[in-house]
Amino acid sequence: MSRALAVGGLVLCAATVLAATAAPPALTVEADGLRLVYPAVRTGGALVAALALGAAAALAGGWRWRGLLAAVAAGCALHAAASAAWLIAADGAALRERRLTGSRVVAWTDVVEAVNGPEGVRLSTRDGGSVVVDVLALEPHQRAALERSIARRIEDARRR
């Protein structure tokens, strides 16, 4: 019975930490643009949850529970890595988007059109390609600031 309580307590701890550290991206206005990153507390919380779930997996009885808890722990670790890697920055030269799967840089001089949609901001480039900046994780005021910054940067690039 004490092993089951320990596993339950660790799972509850992981859920509490994840809920307490869930945070939207932080908007930082800089001299030449803006920057959106997830706060370090979000990454740290996901890592603590992954450790707690890993410990619960080690203590759990039965291979099914161990496998399930280990898979959820791995998911939390992946969430931590994705939160640490995520960045959107708009400065005088380009829009930079970084994710766990890679990064993209779009120079403002290459952007022909920007269209705001429900899924994000679609930038059409001179070479016929398009880039969608995912804004679903942003709060409304952050999205508005990013959209204004993108519009201003594109307009500045056209004037040059």
pLDDT attached to residue 1: 56
pLDDT attached to residue 157: 83
Distance separating alpha carbons of residues 81 and 99, to the nearest angstrom = 9
Per-residue pLDDT of the chain (160 residues; tens, 9 = 90+): 588 888 888 888 889 988 888 888 888 888 888 898 999 999 999 999 999 999 999 999 889 999 999 999 999 999 999 999 999 898 888 889 899 999 988 888 888 888 888 888 888 888 888 888 888 888 888 888 888 888 888 888 888 7
Contact in structure between 78 and 137 (CB atoms under 8 Å): no
pLDDT attached to residue 18: 87
Question: Count of residues for the chain?
Answer: 160
Range 87-159 has CATH code 2.30.29.30: yes
Q: What are the sequence ranges of the domains in the chain? A: 2-26+39-85, 87-159
Distance separating alpha carbons of residues 76 and 84, to the nearest angstrom = 12
pTM recorded for the entire structure: 0.82
